[in-house]
A and B are shown apart, each in its own frame.
Chain A
Amino acid sequence: MDSTLAILAILDGVSYAALVFLVSVGLSLVFGVLRIVNVAHGSLYAYGAYVAATLSLVVAPISPWLTFPALLVAAVIVGVVVGGLMERFLLRPVYGREDVLQLLITFAVFMIMDNLQRLIWGVQPIFAAEPVKLLPNVSVFGVNYTAYQVILLPLVAAATLIGLRYFLRYTLAGAVILAVTEDREAATAIGVDARKVFLVTFMIGAGLAALGGALASPTTSLAPGMGADMIVLSFAVAATAGLGQIEGAAVTALMIGLSRAFIIYIQPEFEVLVPYLLMVIVLLVRPMGLFGVNRVRKI
């Protein structure tokens, strides 16, 4: 592999990792607080992408630069509306029920959203590449790449990481969320309104998935199945990092993004295999994930 290909692989890996991080950190956050693996998380990603593309196509004729805020608006809409409705009306009634039922509710939502997506946007691929075209190409060590992918996406991911850290560590709302994550019973015992925490957390998590989708929308064609693929991938990242681990998700996303990118140039047929193989190996050695911590039950 020559150095140009290596640089290309690194750039591919970093921009891909940025998207995957956004989605998996949302999944991880939701699991950390609600203890639910949201199978419909990938659908939120897909909806973020489709809503962003739809909005972009509407605003682009007015001014192409409006497509950038459109991406953000799409993420907020999906996070607050779809995420909010889902938590309030489908998840809230099943808290405290068996894990499998909570999981299956989200699977049912996945099926419904997947079907609705086909009904609303059809099965033909949709392109809305406006934002990528607006930003110039940059040259990194002689390799040309879109600024959108190698500068904007990593910047958004980094800002999200820093923002989440700040939010959780230094704001009251964040501290409350962390308290619920650490010990739900103790937190509710001291008067934390767990319902509100769950709702807000879920909307943030859903919003992050949708943001990932919205940001991905200009770089790829949107088609059925994108949500189903993304949920397992983000799940692999979240599980490999350790569910609930935010910084860990960033490191793992980068690791998986880079190894996937390099594999594409070396042995392309193993591309999809990499994250899952990594996940199997890590979980066999450290079931709580690379950055997770173990807890012992008292008897």
Chain B
Amino acid sequence: MPRATLAARLAIVAAIALAVALPIVMPSWATLITLILAKGIVVLGIIILLQAGQVSFGHAMFFGVGAYAVAFWGKYVGTGDLLLFLVVAPAAATLLGLLVGLFVVRYREIFFGMLNLAFSMVLWSLLEKMFHYTNGADGIRVARPTLAGLAFTPETFQYVLVYLTLGLVLIVAYGVQRYLDSPSGHMLRAIKSNETRLEYLGVSARRVLLVGYVISAFLGGLGGALVAVAQQIATPEFAYWTKSGEFVFIAILGGVANAAGAFAGSAVFEFVRFFAAAKLANAWQLILGVVLIAIIMFAPGGLIGLFRRDATETRR
């Protein structure tokens, strides 16, 4: 991974400053920014898997599990604390990631994608049809949690949430970038370019992929919990295949070369949705679809690739 250029560093600092300032300048955007950041966390997980050349069209299952962990806590245990949610939800997703991962890391490419899709659709059907426990398609409302025992008004809480999420993003993005630069992260890329050689170095490619898969599940759960709290609801749609597709979409939109792409993609995606849904007669999907096609055709490095000199198309 090439060292970040000065321009790239400045861009990251500017983006962080913007995320800090925007909720204050535009209070009505606070929740929008929380959603951008939270979904960016999920997309980091997609980017990890894409390093190994694997596309999960079922990753929303971890997003859904994170959200429902929070929702179920509210429904069956009582009002929760945000800090608790941020432990329980990722833990649930990580556990599921380990279980599902043990199966799916044996497969590659289309088979990997299909099996992930199948698992996620099983979860979706359960959420949709186990009406008695899940309220079916209506979903479960998520009450505003406390933070470290402190209760907040709705107005204050949206600031608490957005800055907490921003803090988490900084930690998580740094961690993921470290991971991608580590031997383990490089081995993930080696799975994509030559798994045979990796095995002939004495490395279990499955184990390398499992580590990445579990980390990405963790990130999915964390993002899901944050979105459920921000939107105050968890619905089966969180685990539906179109949501998985959306995460992969955001990853490609932003660029998969490093962690910054996840948030760049997420920001564009959510802003287009936010404004197009309000102003352009509900044509946001259409606009995003066209944007995606344009990115794939003309800027294969994604949005962040536009700012990178070495993002010219590699090999073939």
Contacts and interface: CB of A to CB of B under 8 A. Distances in A.
Contacts of B288: 108, 111
Contacts of A228: 240-242
Interface stretch (A51-59, A88-96, A143-151, A214-222): A88-96
A273 B122 contact: yes
A17 interface: no
Nearest to B313: A97
A287 interface: yes
A288 B109 CA distance: 12
B125 A272 contact: yes
A273 B129 contact: yes
B124 to A, nearest CB: 8
Interface stretch (A99-107, A132-140, A153-161): A99-107
Contacts of B316: 96
Nearest to A113: B289
Nearest to A297: B196
A107 B285 CA distance: 11
Nearest to B282: A118
Given A236-B121, A280-B122, A112 B129 contact: no
B128 interface: yes
Interface in A227-284: 228, 231-232, 235-236, 239, 243, 269-273, 276-277, 279-280, 283-284
Interface string A40-82: 0000000000000000000000000000000000000000000
A118 B118 CA distance: 27
A71 to B, nearest CB: 28
A39 interface: yes
Contact of A108 (B106, B242, B296): B296
A269 B278 CA distance: 36
Interface residues of A, number: 47
Contacts of B126: 273
A116 interface: yes
A239 B106 CA distance: 16
B115 A105 contact: no
A114 B113 CA distance: 22
Contact of B55 (A103, A114, A239, A243): A103
A235 B242 contact: no
A115 B117 contact: no
Nearest to A105: B296
Interface residues of B, number: 47
Given A39-B245, A105-B296, A115 B118 contact: no
Contact of B118 (A105, A108, A239): A239
A108 B293 contact: yes
B122 A277 contact: yes
Contacts of A115: 282-286, 289
Contacts of B285: 111-112, 114-115
Closest 9 CB pairs of A and B: A112-B289, A111-B289, A115-B285, A115-B286, A276-B121, A273-B125, A108-B292, A269-B129, A108-B289
25 contacts: A39-B245, A93-B297, A94-B296, A94-B297, A96-B316, A100-B50, A100-B55, A105-B296, A108-B288, A108-B289, A108-B290, A111-B288, A115-B282, A115-B283, A116-B286, A119-B286, A228-B241, A236-B118, A236-B121, A239-B114, A243-B110, A277-B122, A283-B107, A283-B115, A299-B196
Given A235-B114, A273-B129, 8 more contacts: A96-B316, A97-B300, A107-B245, A115-B286, A119-B281, A228-B240, A236-B121, A276-B122
